[in-house]
A and B are shown apart, each in its own frame.
Chain A
Amino acid sequence: DVKVTQSSRYLVKRTGEKVFLECVQDMDHENMFWYRQDPGLGLRLIYFSYDVKMKEKGDIPEGYSVSREKKERFSLILESASTNQTSMYLCASRLNRGRNEKLFFGSGTQLSVL
Chain B
Amino acid sequence: QKEVEQDPGPLSVPEGAIVSLNCTYSNSAFQYFMWYRQYSRKGPELLMYTYSSGNKEDGRFTAQVDKSSKYISLFIRDSQPSDSATYLCAMTKPGNNDMRFGAGTRLTVKP
Contact = CB atoms under 8 A, between A and B. Distances in A.
A111 interface: no
Task: Give the contact-size bracket for chain A.
Answer: 20 to 34
Contact of A48 (B43, B44, B97): B97
A97 B104 contact: no
A31 interface: yes
Contacts of B95: 97-98, 100
Given A97-B95, A100-B32, A102-B49, A41 B103 contact: yes
B97 A50 contact: yes
Contact of B34 (A42, A98, A102, A108): A102
B97 A40 contact: no
A90 interface: yes
Main secondary structure of the interface of B (DSSP, over half): loop
Q: Which of A31, A43, A50 has the most CB of B within 10 A?
A: A43
B44 A105 contact: yes
A107 interface: yes
Interface in A45-93: 45, 48, 50, 56, 58, 90, 92
Contacts of B102: 42
Interface in B11-61: 31-32, 34, 36, 41-46, 49
A94 B91 CA distance: 14
Nearest to B4: A42
A103 B95 CA distance: 14
Contacts of A104: 46
Interface of A: 4, 9, 31, 40-43, 45, 48, 50, 56, 58, 90, 92, 97-98, 100, 102-108, 110
21 contacts: A9-B41, A40-B103, A42-B101, A42-B104, A45-B99, A48-B97, A50-B97, A56-B97, A90-B43, A90-B44, A92-B43, A100-B92, A100-B94, A100-B96, A102-B46, A103-B90, A104-B46, A105-B36, A105-B44, A106-B43, A108-B41
